[in-house]
Amino acid sequence: MRILVVEDEQDLASAIATSLRRDGYATDVAADGASALDRVAYSEYDLVCLDLNLPDVDGLDVCRQVTNGGTANAESGLLPPKVIMLTARGGIDDRIRGLDEGADDYLVKPFSLRELGARVRALLRRDSALGSSVVSVAGIEVDTARHEVTYDGVPVDLTAKEFALLRWFVLHPDEVHSAKRLLEHVWDEHADPFTNTVRVTLSNLRRKLAYAQPGANPIETITGRGYRLRSA
Query: Which pLDDT score, from 0 to 100, does residue 77 have?
Result: 53
Q: In which band, very low, low, confident or very high, does the pLDDT at 227 lie, cut at 50, 70 and 90?
A: very high
Total number of domains in the chain: 2
Q: Are residues 176 and 152 in the same domain?
A: yes
Give yes or no for a contact between 143 and 43, defined as CB atoms under 8 angstroms apart. Answer: no
Question: Cis peptide leading into 110, omega within 30 of 0?
Answer: yes
Task: Calculate mean pLDDT across residues 174-191.
Answer: 87
Q: Are residues 92 and 147 in the same domain?
A: no
**CATH (domain of 143):** 1.10.10.10
Q: In which band, very low, low, confident or very high, does the pLDDT at 127 lie, cut at 50, 70 and 90?
A: low
- Widest distance between CA atoms in the chain: 57
Task: Look at strands 82-87 and 105-108 and give their pairing.
Answer: parallel
Q: Are residues 103 and 187 in the same domain?
A: no
**CATH (domain of 76):** 3.40.50.2300
Q: Are residues 121 and 165 in the same domain?
A: no
Which residues have CB under 8 Å from 175's CB, separation 6+?
A: 228
Query: Which pLDDT score, from 0 to 100, does residue 129 have?
Result: 46
Task: Calculate mean pLDDT across residues 98-108.
Answer: 87
Q: Are residues 8 and 109 in the same domain?
A: yes
DSSP 20-67: HHHTT-EEEEESSHHHHHHHHHHS--SEEEEES--SSS-HHHHHHHHH
Contacts by 145-148, CB closer than 8 A, 24 or more apart: 145/118, 145/121, 147/23, 147/24
Q: What are phi and psi of 11, to 5 degrees?
A: -65, -45
Task: Calculate mean pLDDT across residues 122-138.
Answer: 72
Helix (H, G, I), strand (E, B) or coil at 14: helix
Structural domain that includes position 204: 134-229
